[in-house]
Structure 1
C-alpha cells in the first residue's frame, strides 16, 4: 500500500487555512486542500500494515489503503470509484468528519497518522472537477414506492441507495431547502451549501423526488423542540403517508436541544445554538429575516465545548462580537493522548478548532449557576454567575471559593441534543428507547425496522446525536434492509 518505506521517508502534511483575519470577513470555506503532488506523498505514507485498523475506525468502512495507494499511483478515477463504493458523500465527510480513521491508523501508534481525510477531500474535489461524478440511474424499476422523512445525510444516503436499487423514492423535508442539519446546523465556512445542491441534482437525475416545506406528522408546540427551524407549508399525516408508500424511512436529526434550567433562564438574550446558527445560513442563502440573532459588539458566552459550540464561536467572530468565551463543564483534557492506552480508539484530548484560533477564551471545569438580568421585568441577560467543578466520587461537585461572574449580552446554549422530535415518532406509533430515540436494532435480518408496520429508521433518530459519517452509514444500511423487505432479497452493499 503506497510506498513501502513512505511512512519513514515523508512527514504528515496538514491542509492549510487562510489567515484568520481574512477568513472571518466572510462565510466562505477557507481550507486549502492538498495539491495532487502533496496528496500523492500522503498516499505514499500508507504503510503495508497487514491489518488496516483504519477501515474499522471509519464508520462507513472506507477502503482506505486502496484509495491511498491509487492516489500514490496517480489513478484518481479508480480512487473515486473505490471511495464511492462505501461513501455516498465524501465531499461532506472530507470536510467535516473528525476522522476517527486517523485515530485508528497504525502509523499513529508511535508517529503521525496518514492524512486520510485530506486525501479523501482531494479525491472527491478532483472527481467533481473532472466530471467523474455522474448520475447512476437504475436500469430497471421495481414499482415499489419509498418515502424518506428528512433530507440530512442519513436520509440522502438512504434515498440514493434505494433509488439505485430501482425503487421510486420521495424525500420529504420540513424546511424550504434540502440538507437537514448539513444545511442549517453547519456553518457555510465549514461546508458551503453548493456541495449539497450538487448532490441533490445528481439524485434528481437518478429519479429521486424531493418535496420541501412538507411536515410529516407533527411538531412540538412548546420547549426546545418547538424552536427547531421549520418552514412547512404542507402537513401530511403518518396514516396518509403510509397509505401512499410501500415503506417509510424516518431519517430526521436529533433536534431536541439540551436546556439549562437555572435561575434567570427566561431572560432575553439566551438562545439555543440551533436558533442562532440556522439564521445565519439562511441569510447567506439570500433569505430576509426580521430580528436575526446577531453577536455584533456583544460579549458572547457559548455554553458547551463541542463542535456546535465551536460553530457558534466562529459565527460570532464573523458577526464582530466584542468577546467570545466558551464554557465546558468537563476538565481540560491533555494536549496529547497516551496512545499505548487509547489506540486504535478515539482519544479524549484537547482539540483546538479553526474557530478557536479566530478568537475565543476557553474555560474548562466550569458550571453556570445563574443568569443575571438588568433588573427589568422580562429584561435582558447581562451576566452569568459560575462556579468551578471537579470530579469527586464519580460525580461533578462544586469547588468552594471559585464563584465568578462573567459579563454577557448573548448566551448560546450548545450542550448537545437529547433525542429526535417526539411527535414525529408518536405519529407513526414507533416505540422509543430510554433516551427517547426510535427503538430499532441493526442486525442483518430485519435491522433498522421499527415496531410500526413498514416503518424503518436511520441516523440520529435511531442512534442519537452522532457524526455525519455515522448518519451516512445508517442510511446505507437501512436502505439495504428496506430493499430486502420489499423484494425478499437485496444486492445493496452492507
Structure 2
C-alpha cells in the first residue's frame, strides 16, 4: 500500500466530459482523460483493505457485487500510484482480455462494493482500468502474442460478442485452432453493433483488438449464420469442440393495441443500423432508422434505452420521452440496499444528460407504462397512450403494476423504440441440435462446467445465463475456454 492516507488526502475525481451540446454533434467518445499525476492520486485512494470486496465478483440479491472477472484491483491501483504503468497493465491482462472495453462500458460493480464507499465516494476503479489499457496501446505495450505451438485441435465458436471473443482469445492462447462464426458483416457482436460509437469507438478501440486476435491466429468467418449458411450438425462433425456464445438476442415485445403500426422498432434494429451507418461514413445503410425531426418515445429505462436516447439526440429528434415502468431510484442507498450490494440510486446517465441539455429535463417518466399505440390514416404511429402504475402485491405475493385511473396521457410519437430487454437466445439453431434448455429457454449448462447436453458442445454468456452484463460475458468466455481446453486435452493451464 503506497499511500496509507491517500483516501483522506484526495477526493474522488472523474474525467470531465465534453459539454453535451457540443458532443451531440458527432459520434466520437467524449471523455477527457485525466493527467497522469491526478490518476496516480486516484490510485492512492485505494486503501488496500484487509478484505477487499472489489475484486471478488458475486451475486447479491441477483445483482453483481464486485468484479465478475476478479480483476486484481488493489494491486494495479497501487502500481498506478507508484507510476508503474506497464506492470499495472500486466496485472490487468492476467484477468481481463479486453480492459479497454470494460473500462468504457462496464457499470463498475467493483465500485459499488469498494470498502471506501461505505462512508466516502469509492475509488475510481473503472476510469483507472481504462487509463491503464489506453496507455498500453499508446506506448506499444500491447502487441500480438501468438501461441508458440499448436495442439492440432480445432474449435468452432458461434458468436463473436463478449463471451465469444474472450473464449476465442483464451482457447487460441492454449494453442487450439479457433474459428469464430458471426452472422453480421463484422465481428464484435454487441461490442460492435449493440453499443453506440460514442460509448465504445469501433475503429480505434474495438477493431484494433480484433486485428490483434487475427494476428494471433484467430479466424473470423462473417456473414455466416449457423443453421442457415452452415448447419449446426456440420460444425459438430467438423470440429473437435463447439462453443455457443450466441447471446440473448430475442427482444421483449409489447403486444398492445396498435403494435402493428409502422414506426415502431426494437432498439437493436435502430442501434445496429445506426452504427453501420456511422461506419459507412454517414451514408445510410439498408434498414437505417432516422429520428431526425421526430417526436421519439423510448419504452424501457435501462442501458439500451439510454443508448437510444443518445443516438436519437444526435439524429436531431424533435422531442424525447423515455417511459420507465419502475419507480425513480432514491438519491442515496435505501436501508434495504446496503453495501456491498449494487447501489440502486438515481443516476443521470450520458443520454439523459444530453436530452436534459437539449430539451431542459431528464426525459424519463417513472412508474408509467404504454397502453396503446395510435396511428394515422396511413398506419404510421403518431402517439403513445400511457398510464401511471402503482406496484402492488397479487394473491401470490408477487409485485405487479396496477393502472391508476385518471393518470392517462397521450404522448406524440412518430418513432417508438422498444428497449425492454431480451427473453433469451433465438431458438432455431438450438432446436436443430436438440439441445436441452432451461425453464427460461436458455441453453442448459452449469456455470463452471458449461457443458451442454451434447458431448463436445459448450455454451457461455447470455445464451446460457440470460441477459446480463458485458463483464459477466467475459467471465463466462474465460470459464468456458478452461472447460473446453480440459475436454480437449484432459488438463488445462488456462487461468
Q: 2:459 aligns with which of 457, 460, 464?
A: 457
Alignment of 1:429-468 (within 5 A): 429-443=434-448, 447-468=449-470
Q: Name the residue aligned to 2:234.
A: 240
DSSP 3-state at the match of 1:387: strand
Query: How many angstroms apart in 2 are the aligned matches of 1:367 and 1:2?
Result: 51
- State the TM-score, normalized to the length of structure 2: 0.94
Query: How many angstroms apart in 2 are the aligned matches of 1:136 and 1:88?
Result: 12
Q: Are the aligned partners of 1:304 and 1:327 in contact in 2 as well (CA < 8 Å)?
A: yes
Superposition deviation, residue 354 in structure 1: 0.9
User: Which stretch has the larger CA shift, 134-143 or 65-74?
Assistant: 134-143
Structure 2 unaligned regions, length at least 5: 57-65, 356-361, 394-398
Q: 2:333 aligns with which of 328, 333, 337?
A: 337
Say whether residues 1:50 and 2:50 are aligned partners.
Answer: yes
**How many corresponding residue pairs?**
472
Say whether residues 1:415 and 2:424 are aligned partners.
Answer: no
Superposition deviation, residue 141 in structure 1: 1.1
Alignment of 1:19-418 (within 5 A): 19-56=19-56, 57-194=66-203, 195-218=205-228, 235-286=229-280, 288-290=284-286, 292-338=288-334, 341-359=337-355, 360-376=362-378, 379-393=379-393, 394-418=399-423
Q: Name the residue aligned to 2:471.
A: 469
Q: Name the residue aligned to 1:229.
A: none
Query: How many angstroms apart in 2 are the aligned matches of 1:8 and 1:386?
Result: 49
Superposition deviation, residue 428 in structure 1: 2.3
Q: Are the aligned partners of 2:337 and 2:344 in contact in 1 as well (CA < 8 Å)?
A: no
Q: Are the aligned partners of 2:337 and 2:343 in contact in 1 as well (CA < 8 Å)?
A: no
RMSD of equivalent CA atoms: 1.2
Superposition deviation, residue 48 in structure 1: 2.9
Q: Are the aligned partners of 1:33 and 1:121 in contact in 2 as well (CA < 8 Å)?
A: no
Query: How many angstroms apart in 2 are the aligned matches of 1:432 and 1:32?
Result: 45
Q: Per-residue CA shift, 1:443-492, capped at 9, x if unaligned? A: 4xxx0000012100111111111111111110000000000000000000
Structure 1 unaligned regions, length at least 5: 219-234
DSSP 3-state at the match of 1:202: helix
Q: Are the aligned partners of 1:34 and 1:118 in contact in 2 as well (CA < 8 Å)?
A: no
Query: How many angstroms apart in 2 are the aligned matches of 1:290 and 1:151?
Result: 22
DSSP 3-state at the match of 1:146: strand
Q: Are the aligned partners of 1:135 and 1:202 in contact in 2 as well (CA < 8 Å)?
A: yes
- State the TM-score, normalized to the length of structure 1: 0.94
Superposition deviation, residue 339 in structure 1: 6.8
Q: Are the aligned partners of 2:93 and 2:99 in contact in 1 as well (CA < 8 Å)?
A: yes
DSSP 3-state at the match of 1:461: helix
